[in-house]
Amino acid sequence: MAVTVEQRRAVVDALAALYDRFGGETYGEGITQLEHGLQAAAVAESEGAPGALVAAALLHDVGHLLGMTDDAFGYHKHDHLGADYLARHFGPEVTDPVRLHVAAKRYLCATVPGYAGKLSPASTYTLSKQGGPMNAEEAARFAAGPHCREAVRLREWDDLGKVEGLHVPDFAHYRPLLESLVRA
C-alpha cells in the first residue's frame, strides 16, 4: 500500500513535534539534542552522504527524546529505543545505522588507536555505561555485520556534531528528505 503525501507529512510532523518539545534539552554536551542532530546531519550532507544516512544522522539520538532517562546524559540504550521507534515509518537504511551508532563508538574505541581519547567527556562517560570498548570477538562480529560502514560514518558525524554556536540548516530543511523516506 502506497503512503500518501498526507501520511508522510504526518510522520514528519510527529518527529518535528518531538524535537520541538524535547529537542531543547541538553545531555551532557554544550548543545541541545536538536542542535546536535542538526549538526550531525549538516556534516553528513556536506560530505555527500546518501539521503537515508543524512536522515539517520539527524535522527540518531531520537531515543533520548522518548521519555526514558538513566541520568543527566540521557538514556544509555537510546540507540535501540530510537531505532525501534523510527522503524514504524522508515526502512533499515535509516534505522540500522541509528541502532548501531553506539556499537560503532565501542568498535572505534577498540580498533582505532587514540579514538577513545578524542571523545567528549559526555561520550566517554556514556561509553562506560554502554559496555566500553568492544573485545576482539565483538569487533570482528560488528565489522562483518550489515550497515557497519554506515554506522561508523554516522558515529563520526555524531562526534563532529557537538560545536557550540555553529549555524546549520534547521529541521525544516530536512522535511522533504524525511518525507521522501517514509514508508508504509
What residues does each domain of the chain span? 5-181
DSSP string, 147-172: THHHHHHHHHHHHH---TT-----HH
- Residue that the C-alpha cell 537510546 belongs to: 78
Confirm whether pTM is higher than 0.85. yes
CA distance 168 to 76: 27
d(CA 15, CA 38): 13
120 close to 162: Cβ distance less than 8 angstroms: yes
Decide: 164 and 31 in contact? Cβ < 8 Å: yes
Q: What confidence score (pLDDT) does residue 71 get?
A: 47
pLDDT of residue 64: 85
Cβ pair 69, 161 in contact under 8 A: no
Residue 2: CA count within 13 A, CB half-sphere: 3
**Strand (E) or helix (H) holding 56:** helix 51-59
What is the third-level CATH fold of 5-181? Hypothetical protein af1432 (1.10.3210)
Q: How far apart are CA 97 and CA 81, in angstroms?
A: 13
pLDDT at 73: 46
Residue recorded with cell 529505543: 81
Three-state SS at 75:
coil
d(CA 87, CA 47): 25
Instruction: Quote the CA–CA distance of 148 and 142 in Å, as a whole number.
Output: 7
What is the pLDDT, as a whole number, of residue 126?
82
- The alpha carbon of residue 43 and the mean position of all alpha carbons in its chain are separated, in whole angstroms, by 13
Angstrom CA distances, 52 to 25, 79, 130, 133, stand at: 25, 16, 25, 27
pLDDT of residue 68: 55
> Which residues of the chain fall below pLDDT 50?
71-75
